Amino acid sequence: MTNEPSISYVGKGLSRPECVLATRSGDIFCSHKGAGVMRICPDGRQFLLQGDTEFGGMPVVPNGIALRQDGSFLIANISDAGGVLELDADGLRPHAVSAGGSTLPPVNFVYVDQLGKTWVTVSSKLRPRSRAYRRDVKNGYVGLINSDKSFSVVLHGLHYTNEVRPDYEGGWLYIAETFGQKITRVRLDEKGVHGEPELFLQFGPGSFVDGIELDGAGGLYAACIVSSELYHIDPEAAPTLVVGERDKAWVESVEAALDDHTMDRTHFDSSPAERLKNISSLAFTGESRDRIVCGNLLGDSLPVFDAPHNGPEPPYWNVVVPIWGTQVS
């Protein structure tokens, strides 16, 4: 594509850095398979914020991560053990919503918004999750962890739920539905969601939307796996490609597998992309949030490039996380 921004990379030795966060301090945090969270400091040092590496008798597979105001993290554990976990300097442990034998299914994403509400997404009730890699399975849901630590499902019947973003100013909750290859939205206010989701944007073949982020002006950014593309979407739902590494033959083979009900993990765990490595999420970084850093499924570092527009301030932007963990570089 023309006018694609120059791409550099931060971090090294990362393992499935699917979700990424950035704070005012210049620190970048990403999920790290088999452990917890990797911290990448502005000076290049890296700290593995790792507690126990197992939960429910299985290695922890952090997918979404959320930074809380006290500097601790919530982890969406997408292994078959499932659950929401808490991570801080004292270690890794199940969140109250996942304790006492009431563990949630494999959790895709967790997000703490500016009102302090904790959103959780489950892509599918099926185990293994690959059974939901289909066009006709729609049993994902969105839930909230309540103040009493109970869990409430607020939306269901979704087509492989991935990241969500609440936009209270605009009055919408945006939802990435990966195998529907679409972003939907439902009316939202401080009391909760209202009504049923409506279509915001339907992507074309090969674009399996995974991570989304608000642009601060009524639009969104969307990271798509398989096609390894990042789009900016304006308030009228018109998408513009920002960066991409689409391989036509690969996209066609994945779409054929989806049609034939033969799609499995190999279609996510391999890709011809060499620069973007199945980008799956994004965060704004830099003092004025004028750069984008992308999480990904297959790389050992994170691509970074100039943002078309400065990003909004996320709820965790000013959180200061003390230095702790094991320094690995």
Which stretch, 75-84, 141-150, 288-297, has highest mean pLDDT?
288-297
pLDDT of 62 higher than 90: yes
Q: Given the DSSP bridges, would you call strands 182-189 and 192-202 parallel, antiparallel or unpaired?
A: antiparallel
pLDDT of 2 higher than 60: no
The Cβ of residue 183 has, within 10 Å, a number of other Cβ atoms equal to 26
In 79-177, beta strands by DSSP E: 84-88, 91-94, 109-112, 118-122, 140-145, 151-158, 161-167, 172-177
What region does 199 belong to: left with phi over 0, alpha with psi -120 to 50, or beta?
beta
Q: Which domains does the chain have, with CATH numbers?
A: 8-327 (2.120.10.30)
pLDDT in tens, 95-125: 988 766 557 899 999 999 999 999 999 999 9
pLDDT of 70 higher than 90: yes
What is the pLDDT of the chain when averaged over all its residues? Answer: 95
Asked if residue 120 lies in contact with residue 144, where contact means CB atoms within 8 angstroms, the answer is yes
Count of CA atoms in the C-beta half-sphere (13 A) of 7: 17
In order of 1, 107, 222, 244, 293, the CA distances from 232 in angstroms are 15, 26, 7, 12, 14
Cα–Cα distance, 218 to 169 (Å, whole number): 9
Which helix (H) or strand (E) segment holds residue 308: the answer is none
Residue with tokens 């593309």: 229
pLDDT in tens, 282-317: 999 999 999 999 999 999 999 999 999 999 999 999
Neighbouring residues of 248: CB distance < 8 A, sequence distance ≥ 6: none
Read off the tokens for 319. Answer: 């959180």
Q: What are the beta bridge partners of residue 236?
A: none
Average pLDDT over residues 27-42: 96
Sign for the pseudo-dihedral over CA of 235, 241, 242, 245? positive
The Cβ of residue 146 has, within 10 Å, a number of other Cβ atoms equal to 12
Residue with tokens 């969140």: 95
pLDDT in tens, 211-249: 999 998 999 999 999 999 999 999 999 999 999 999 999
What is the reported pLDDT for 52? 66
What is the reported pLDDT for 194? 98
User: 14 — phi, psi (to 5°)?
Assistant: -75, 155
Average pLDDT over residues 267-281: 94
Instruction: Please give the residue that has the higher pLDDT: either 323 or 146.
Output: 323
Give residue 1's pLDDT band: very low, low, confident or very high (50, 70, 90).
low
pTM across the whole model: 0.97
Asked if residue 94 lies in contact with residue 107, where contact means CB atoms within 8 angstroms, the answer is no
